[in-house]
Chain A
Amino acid sequence: MSGGVIHEEEVLGKAYDSRLMRRLVGYLRPYGRQVTFAIATIVGNSALQLAPPYLTKTVIDHYIPARDLSGLTVIAVLYLTTLVASFAFEYAQTWTMQVTGQRVMFDLRMQVFTHLQRLDLRFYDRNPVGRLMTRVTTDVDVLNELFTSGVVSIFGDVFTLVGIMAVLIWMDWRLAIVAFSVLPLIALITQWFRRNVRDSYRTVRAWIARINAYLQERITGMSTVQLFRREERDFAAFDDIDRAHRDANVQSIFYYAVFYPAVELVSALAASLIIWYGGGRVMADLLTLGSLVAFLQYSQRFFRPISDMSEKFNVLQGAMASSERIFALLDTPVEVKSPEVRRELDTASLVRLKPDTTGGPETTGGPETTGGPDTAGGVIEFENVSFAYVPGEAVLKNVSFRVEPGQRMALVGATGSGKTTIVNLLLRFYDVQEGRITIDGIDIREMDLAELRATFGLVLQDVHLFSGTIAANVRLGHSEIDDAQVRHALESVHAWGFVSQLPGGLSAPVAERGATLSVGQKQLLSFARALAFNPRVLVLDEATSSVDTETEFLIRDALKVVMRGRTTIAIAHRLSTIQDMDRILVLHKGELRETGTHQELLARRGIYHRLYQLQFKERAEALENAS
């Protein structure tokens, strides 16, 4: 259980990558005016920072010896002016830069999310949802720091440093060189600190991730831990991780504990040098006392930006790693998309983008009766289709079949036989690799993607609900489906019974992932959803999990309602569903092996017969006993 597993997210790469940086800067382009303004305020503010020590010098060298009180007042007014101006500059800069950063992050987040909405399902197979979420949320937020605090303060720091150096050289270049002589030391210390802190930061982050993962898992599974009396061993394992985390932290404290005093020491060294060499020059009348004081004050301001900059380094590094991951996502091409030139189906025959709007509770018929899909046209055909998720491991081999309009077809086969793949290809979640799929003779790859998918109503085994209301989960984003239609759909699939019991009825909230609803209720809701969309073709992946008998009957009946008058393609697990089908396709290891009706296939005593015996043996036995 121990050992430093470093997650992908924890790996930090180069601190600066000009290719990535250029691309990042590209996102600032729409905000050129704001950026220019922000840079101007930074430069202005850096210049103002140079004023106070110089004013002090002037006071000591001129006004005090001259006993000029009114001159002092002028200086005080000047001083106040720089303070106020500096306040204004800083405020303007922070506001402009950070708001721009937010806008850029907004743009970037939208871009990532929009791209994710188009990316192939194949991409989702490779990347767990948790990782993709990190791209949209955390990675973008890390970049935000780069745009606001990180880069900007480095700009400011550099300007300040350059300004101070210029003033020092101008005042006394010899003393300036003496004061600068400590710079290599600072560079060495910073380098040492940066390298070590980066490594130890990485280790600490890896351990804290381990702690959180472990804790999260054990809290969620605490009952299991307790049932199996694992408390002591788990505690020991947790103690190991916790200890490693502490040790990594103690290591990193060491670097900080050395770094800050070391920078102060170098700063004191600079002050000593200024007093020693500068003092000599004051005595030789080559330097005024005020200049010496100004030198001391400038040298103090000199070191602050340097230690700041070393901290910014981590930000920069994290940002580079994040942007690399984000760009990798954005650069992933979309393969399944609408063609440039689209071929349209005869709309009268099959495609119906808008659900029927004539139905409603006050009229007797609902969508499935008055606006029921007419079954003319819409022949679905698989022609020699082959497909593999992983090259070399064919999931479908040379599959051909034809579904007539209005026909009900069941797909049957063992796990891994390719049933789900047929559904995936039909909706173009993936594209076929060989052969083609046509609707009324038109290759689905030549059709508009949205139009194609509008043809189908998909009901999945694992019902996905969104947080929102019951009604919103039925109509999804199609606001033209009104409450009356939603209610009618719910009634038709026997879901109204439980929905009307919920506080709020149609507008009752659905918790995240439908946590408050039972499995059976969720299935009924998904039927209602399919019905409300009134698709020409129902594509059904039946749920396998067993529910109580009452619900089982409700579901069975609801299914009949949804299938009425529609072409249906179903991955069937229930005998009752198979029973209702016009035709059954038996898939075995990716090949289409048998087709026919239930009775025909049983009579053939082939694969279907065997499957039937395996899966439904118990039921058949019970029947024998009963009769």
Chain B
Amino acid sequence: MSMLIFEKSRRASNKMNIPPAEVEPVDVTKTIGEEYLRNGELPLPDVNEVEAVRHYTALSKRAYGVDDGFYPLGSCTMKYNPKIDEWAARLPGLAGLHPYQPLETVQGALQIMYETGQWLCEITGMDEFSLQPAAGAHGEMTGVMMIKAYHKKRGDEGRNTVLVPDSAHGTNPATANVVGYKVVEVKSDERGLVDLQDLESKLGPHIAGLMLTNPNTLGLFEENILEISRLVHESGGLLYYDGANLNAIMGMARPGDMGFDIVHVNLHKTFGTPHGGGGPGSGPVGVKQHLTELLPVPRVIPQGDQFILDYNYPDSIGKVKQFYGNFGVIVKAYTYIRALGGEGLKEASQQAVLNANYVKHHLSDEYYIPFDRLCKHEFVATAKHQMDSNKVSALDIAKSLLDYGYHPPTIYFPLIVREALMIEPPETESRERLDDFVAAMKEIAKAARENPELVKGAPHHTVVRRLDEVKAARTPVVRWEESQDA
């Protein structure tokens, strides 16, 4: 069993050599004052460097990254993280910059930010980008705040509701709520697309806007997008694009050309920056001309042959984060875009879509595919057959995949499909990988028929078996304590 670092703590003999300050020693009871000082020793773990390195090395071996294998997580775009991007972000001339340094000492950094913003405009068909938001959800919040500011500026105070499709990612309605909007769901029709009639019936003078992903979370392109855009705009609302699925359409279509007023992109999805075990990401937000005045400040703009940080936008919504954005992540996306170029980005999307359709086609005889037609970069399969025959669920199938050495697809999302398995095989996966994955899924389907108990008991070969999540939520233990039993 893996020991916690605190359980390895001993009073260590070799420590970080911090050179003593070559100045007079200080009596903190005088310079700071007793009442401000900490009582007692810091309870942090005390281990030597060798043990520390071994500890974290051991932890890394109980993790699974894209560098270990296939990660068909729908809506996450787990593509390969190019190492040249990692190298670039670690350059001392980029990693060692303080955000408040004089502007003439950071021109290279400002150029990277400016150009990235320009290219994101070109890729998405928007007019101006802010790179400030730290994640997709943060970008959504920024975008929806701009919707709010836009209507307020026009004196239209009655728009208190945002529409989201019933297939939307949880961050969409959460964002709307966080910005102070009510949320109403728009139904999907029997083809899995936004139900135009339902949309029309729900639009009105109280609707601030509609948040959409395109292709949607079922992996289907919203064919009626121009009509949707017309309906929303005619009713006075704005159209927001959740860029999570941008990997499906780069170089083929652009949200700006579909009528979207605001978009956010996820650099850690479409632009190959690593997920880091949950973050950091970056969620730049782009707008059309009529909204540019509202973008967060500062903006990076060219002035002569220099770049400056311009704060002079009185209608800006302000700042959504300290400093300028997750610059270290932006550098990686910059490098990625320069590596691939326009042709490379288009090819990435084309191959992603090919991969998804290929896997869908080969899985369809064993797994029920509710919308079995041309999909984009991801599709939804279900465990319907397996549930109906032997009560084997999407969860059981996912856990069985762990035994085959795969990270499972997204399960139980979108909410409108029962026992959903959302599968996204990014363009960096080879046909051999896909064939192997399909073979594993077919074996699991077979096991579900012939030996369901085996599937329901999975995983069998991982370092821990299924964990008691009910216990973790009923009696949460969220930190180690000295008195705790192991």
A, B: real partners: no
